[in-house]
Amino acid sequence: MQQESILFSLADLFFPRHCAACGCRLAPGEQFVCPECMLGLPWERHHDWVHNSRTAIRDHHPSIQRMGALMCYTRDNSAAHIVHEFKFHRHYELGAWMGRLAVERLRETGLFDGVEVLVPIPLTKSRQRHRGFNQAEKIADEMAAELGIEVRTDVLRRIRNIESQTHFRFEQRLTNAKGIFALTAAAPSLAGHHVMIVDDVMTTGRTMLSAIETLETVPDIRLSTFAWAWVPTTKSNTPFT
């Protein structure tokens, strides 16, 4: 044990680790996010998942059971820094930490109750080759391990990317996000199951809705969604409405 401690200390000396949220150097024993940033993380505090404001679309999509997220995402807040570090700096280990944290914090809220399968939002083949990994899949893998359920990456296929939605009017966002997913030949095996769609960040919600609309064509499927972080709803920025 003492030898391991010495080795870890030497590794920290020559390869210092930094907080994914604020960039400060982590102390020995700290992982990924420093204690100060952990205390200040922008947790989503609305845990009434069935009546969450984002589930207004259930009137038109009765397959949806619950929708939820772990963090509130705004430009330059700590959740945004963590996602950016993970997604663009290829800090792969962060994905497992993010998935584990989500289950630890939300298991008792009922968000995952009855979920049998996780389906991460897929990337196009070219985007995944360029990035080197699918961030939603990394998060989903650890969530599935914690929940004791399976991840299916063979049922939903992304057939096109969409541009950033921020500079489009709402009506243009609707059109821009249509037809970006397709079912695979394996998708019918989801019939009768409760499936949770997983993504890292939900901004306008159009990508998630497109995935919902594609998967709900599977007979007798029940759907829930999880985003590690989502943009807080306001009167001027309410997804799905």
Same domain, 24 and 137: no
Residue 104: CATH number of its domain = 3.40.50
pLDDT of residue 235: 46
Q: Is residue 236 part of a domain?
A: no
**Lowest-pLDDT choice from 49-53, 67-71, 193-197, 221-225:** 49-53
Q: Which residues contact 86 (CB under 8 A, 6 or more apart)?
A: 20, 92, 94, 95, 98, 135, 138, 200
Query: Can you give the length of the chain in residues?
Result: 241
The rounded distance, in Å, linking the Cα atoms of 79 and 105 is 15
Same domain, 143 and 165: yes
Same domain, 101 and 176: yes
pLDDT of residue 39: 95
Q: Is residue 46 part of a domain?
A: yes
Same domain, 36 and 133: no
- Tell me which of 173 and 98 has the higher pLDDT: 98
Comparing C-alpha atoms, which of 70, 155, 61, 77 is closest to residue 116?
155
- In tens, the pLDDT along 8-57 reads 454 555 558 899 999 999 998 888 999 999 999 999 998 888 777 676 56
Rounded percentage of the chain residues whose pLDDT exceeds 70? 80
- In tens, the pLDDT along 136-193 reads 999 999 999 999 999 999 999 998 766 544 444 544 544 556 678 999 999 999 999 9
- Tell me which of 68 and 49 has the higher pLDDT: 68
Q: How many domains does the chain have?
A: 2
* Residue 11, domain extent: 1-40
Q: Is residue 241 part of a domain?
A: no
Same domain, 15 and 76: no
Same domain, 115 and 193: yes
Segments in 89-132 forming alpha helices (H): 93-106, 125-131
Same domain, 47 and 28: no
Please, what's the b/e burial string for 214-241 (b: 16 or more CB within 10 A of its CB; e: otherwise)? Answer: bbbebeebbbbbbbbbbbebeeeebbbe
Phi-psi region of 144 (alpha: psi -120 to 50; beta: other; left: phi over 0): alpha
With tokens 């009855």, the residue in question is 114
Residue 7 has pLDDT above 50, yes or no: no
